[in-house]
Amino acid sequence: MDTEEWVDPVEASYVLHLYITGATPNSTRAVRNIKEICEHYLKGRYELLIVDVYQQTGLAQEEQLIGVPTLIKRSPGLVRRLVGDLSDRERVLKALGIIVPSA
């Protein structure tokens, strides 16, 4: 594993930005899904900023978004982007670098 990317998942604070388009079904699902993931796996260790690109159009261009909803993990580690409603929990956890213990 890259030492530059490796971060102790138990100690890390996460900075996440979720870009949505109003109250569309996909955006609503993405907000619900990321909030559930954060509360379950990152409780007390995350900062989640939700940006409606309809209200802040310049940010979508700044971030060079190719699709919405888009989740951008700012930290820890390397910046990661996920496009979609974030319903594939395993994929989201992997992209965020959250290791779930095997049962």
- Tell which wins on pLDDT, 103 or 24: 24
Predicted local distance difference test score (pLDDT) of residue 103: 58
How does residue 5 score in pLDDT terms, banded at 50, 70 and 90?
A: very low
64-2-7-59 Cα dihedral, nearest 10 degrees:
0
Candidate from 24-33, 35-44, 78-87, 92-101 with smallest mean pLDDT: 92-101
User: Which residues have CB under 8 Å from 39's CB, separation 6+?
Assistant: none
Residues sharing a CB contact under 8 Å with residue 90, sequence separation 6 or more, in sequence order: none
pLDDT in tens, 38-91: 999 999 999 999 999 999 888 878 888 888 999 999 999 999 999 999 999 999
Instruction: Give CA–CA dist 30/24, Å, rounded.
Output: 10
Q: What is the pLDDT of residue 6?
A: 43
Beta bridge partners of 80: 73
Per-residue pLDDT band at 14 (split at 50, 70, 90):
very high
- How far is residue 45's CA from residue 81's CA, in Å, rounded to a whole number? 19
Domains of the chain (ranges; CATH) run 14-96 (3.40.30.10)
